[in-house]
Amino acid sequence: MDWKEGFPRENIYYETERGILYCGDVIDVLSKFPSDIVNIVFTSPPYNVGIEYEDWNDNLSYENYKKWCYEWSKLLYKVLAPDGRLCLNHYLSCGTSKRRFAPIMDLNCMLEDIGFHHYGVAIWWDVTLSKRTAWGSWLSSSAPYLNSPFEAVLVMYKDRWKRLRKGKTDISKEMFMEISSGVWRIQPERNRKLHPAPFPEKLVEYVLRFFSFEDDIVLDPFIGSGTTAVVADKLNRYWVGIELSEKYCEVTANRLEQYRSLL
C-alpha cells in the first residue's frame, strides 16, 4: 500500500517519493488529515518569545499561546496511530526576571488532558543560552536571575508505549546508551541565515533513531527550514511537514533537492 494514501492533496507545496510538504496554517492542514496515520511526531513549535518569523506573531499573551497549542495538539492526538509517539522540543523555562513561565510543564499537563500519556523528558544543552548575561541582583539573594541553558524534549504517547509492529532499528550501542541517559550533549545549530530558530540535525537523529523504525511516517507540523525532513530522508523514514511561511517552504524544498542531488 502506498504510504501517502489518505493524506490530503490540498496545500501541497513540494513532494518526493518519501515526503510531503504542506504550506498552510497548521490547524487547517492537520484538520484534513485522517486519524491514526502517523507513527511519530517530532517538532519544535514557536516558543512565543518574540522571534521574528515570516508570517507568525511570536508575541502572543501566554493564555492565547496555550489555547493555540491546545488546538493543534488535539489534532496531533487524532492523527497519531494508537502506538504513536509525540516528541516535543521546547524550553524548560523562559521569560524575564519579572515574568517567567515553564512551557514544558504546562504543555505536559495540557497534553495529558487531551489524552496523551507521559513517558519522559530528555534534556539537551544549548550553549548559546549559557552565554547570555542574566545575573539579576548581582551577588545578592534579593532577586537573582537563574539562567536555563537547556532545552527539553517532552516524550508522550497516545494509547500504548510498546510498538505494535516490529521494525528495523538503526542505532549503535554507543548511541543507544547516550540517548537513554536522558541528558544529550548536542551543539545548537549556529547557521540562522535560512531560519531564525533552527534546531540541529543531531537532535532529530537522536529522536528518530531512538523512538522510531525505518519506514515509519514522521510528522513535523512546524517544519521551518526542513531539518526534520532532511534527517528523516537520510534515515529511511517517510516524512510529512507543515509550514505556514512560503519562504521557509522554499528553503525546505531547496534543502531536500540539494541533499537528494548528492545521492
* Measured distance CA(40)–CA(81) in Å, rounded: 8
- DSSP tag of 189: P
User: CB within 8 A of 60, min separation 6: which ones?
Assistant: 48, 68
Distance (Å) of CA 27 to CA 33, 79, 137, 243, 244: 10, 12, 43, 11, 10
- For 157-212, write each residue's pLDDT tens digit: 999 999 988 899 889 999 999 999 999 988 766 665 666 566 889 999 999 999 99
- 104: cell is 514544558
- For 229-243, write each residue's pLDDT tens digit: 999 999 999 999 999
- For 104-137, write each residue's pLDDT tens digit: 888 999 999 999 999 999 998 755 554 455 566 7
* Measured distance CA(33)–CA(84) in Å, rounded: 15
- 106: cell is 504546562
19 three-class SS: strand
User: Looking at the domain that runs over 12-261, which CATH code has it been given?
Assistant: 3.40.50.150
- What integer is the mean pLDDT of 136-165? 83
Q: How far apart are the first and last CA of the chain?
A: 25
Residue 218 near residue 228 (C-beta atoms within 8 A): yes
Q: What does pLDDT average to over the chain?
A: 87
* Measured distance CA(196)–CA(53) in Å, rounded: 7
* Measured distance CA(245)–CA(252) in Å, rounded: 11
